[in-house]
């Protein structure tokens, strides 16, 4: 079985691509990082990114690791897709990964997607506050992904492309891994 991690910044397309590929590729399952609650998860992401040497190993990914092992042992799948933001950076998960793909979505596109997806019912003031938070605190987390995860991935896909192109390119890479 091949285990493929697909990463991107928030709203960069990870979940959409993983779900589309899972539907197209037989004997494929997926796990999604956002479905878990982990010990060690930082309360303040801005402080967390300031500690470069500790970035990814403060997270105790034991629940995800246990599910990966359960799926491996089931022998039911040829591929396990991880909607997973850390590439090879977390020591607990890195040895399981056969390939890491990063969808390099420009930050303005990711932000627009996130606002459209998560703030459909938000007031103009809520959206302005979110933009202020992004500029003054959260943006460093996005930039940190581009600094540490993108170059630590085996393949990089242009996230500004249309969805079908991104899915097709990702499928081609998975079949080569």
DSSP element (H, E) containing 173: helix 163-176
Task: Write down the pLDDT at residue 50.
Answer: 59
Structure tokens at 148: 């540490």
Q: How far apart are the first and last CA of the chain?
A: 11
Q: Which domain covers residue 122, as residue numbers?
A: 2-176
pLDDT at 138: 80
pTM tops 0.85, yes or no: yes
Number of domains the chain contains: 1
Q: Distance between CA 155 and CA 163 in Å, rounded?
A: 17
pLDDT at 84: 93
How far is 83 from 38, CA to CA, in rounded Å?
A: 15
**From CA 33, how far away is CA 38, in angstroms rounded?**
10
CATH number at residue 172: 3.40.50.300
């Amino acid at each position: 079985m091949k285990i493929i991690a697909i990463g991107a910044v928030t709203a960069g397309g990870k979940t959409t691509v993983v779900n589309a590929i899972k539907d197209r590729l037989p004997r494929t399952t997926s796990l999604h990082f956002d479905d878990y609650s982990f010990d060690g998860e930082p309360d303040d992401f801005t402080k967390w990114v300031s500690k470069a040497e500790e970035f990814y190993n403060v997270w105790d990914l034991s629940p995800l690791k246990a599910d990966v092992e359960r799926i491996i042992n089931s022998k039911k799948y040829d591929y396990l897709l991880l909607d997973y933001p850390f590439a090879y950076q977390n020591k607990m998960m890195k040895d399981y990964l056969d390939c890491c793909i990063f969808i390099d979505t420009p930050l303005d596109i990711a932000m627009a997607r996130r606002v459209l997806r998560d703030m459909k019912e938000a007031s103009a003031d809520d959206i302005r506050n979110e933009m202020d938070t992004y500029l003054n605190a959260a943006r460093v987390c996005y930039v940190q992904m581009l600094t540490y995860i993108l170059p630590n991935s085996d393949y990089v896909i242009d996230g500004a492309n249309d969805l079908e192109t991104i899915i097709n390119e990702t499928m081609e890479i998975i079949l080569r891994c």
